[in-house]
Amino acid sequence: MFDTINGLPIHPLVVHAVVVLVPLAVLGTIVIAVVPKWRAPYGLFVVGAAAVATVLCPVATSSGEALEGHVGDPGYDHAELGEQLVWFVLPVLVLSAVLVWLARRPVDRRPGPAWLPTAVAVVAVIASVACAVQVYRVGDSGARAAWGDRVSSSSSGGDQDSD
């Protein structure tokens, strides 16, 4: 299903969307966690970015498996790390949504103790940092799988010896 569009592999297209949206969701979640007054005005944008990124993670995985059938195995690390990414993005989505939900409720109608938003914010920052590390690991392993042998085999700095 997620193989090609117009004869071109879908994987690089989806991956670029994930590479933009996941860090955007991570940074946005950290910002709304640290600056509570920004939760109401900007929180829905953060939740939206995290939601789209969460949906695109399985699409990237499926399209990567389809691409693997055409070009070969990218290496165990990349495929395995890519499959795990959704489990890092999903908590960012849930925690950013909870932060926004708590901020949009009237003060007298907020559930739980007064420290609850702070606790959610701390957990959201931790989850965001973990997600940022994971998206870096996936991207790095993918870049090494796609370009590692080509770049390392060329001479450094683009200079070529002419004999």
pLDDT in tens, 35-59: 999 999 999 999 999 999 999 999 9
Is 6 a residue whose pLDDT tops 90?
Answer: no
What is the pTM (predicted TM-score) of this model?
Answer: 0.83
Alpha-carbon gap, residue 32 to 103, rounded angstroms: 10
pLDDT of residue 163: 47
Question: Given a cut of 60, is residue 151 above it in pLDDT?
Answer: no
Residue 32 has pLDDT above 70, yes or no: yes
- The whole-number pLDDT of residue 153 equals 52
- What average pLDDT does the segment 67-94 reach? 84
| pLDDT for the residue 107 | 74
Q: Are 93 and 44 in contact (CB under 8 A)?
A: no
Alpha carbon dihedral 53, 56, 60, 62, in 10-degree steps, equals 150
Report in angstroms the alpha-carbon separations of 25 from 43, 46, 123, 127, 132: 10, 5, 15, 11, 10
The 10s digit of each residue's pLDDT in 133-149 is: 999 999 888 888 777 66
Question: Is pLDDT above 80 for 75?
Answer: no
Structure tokens that stand for 122 in this block: 């701390």
pLDDT value at residue 92: 98
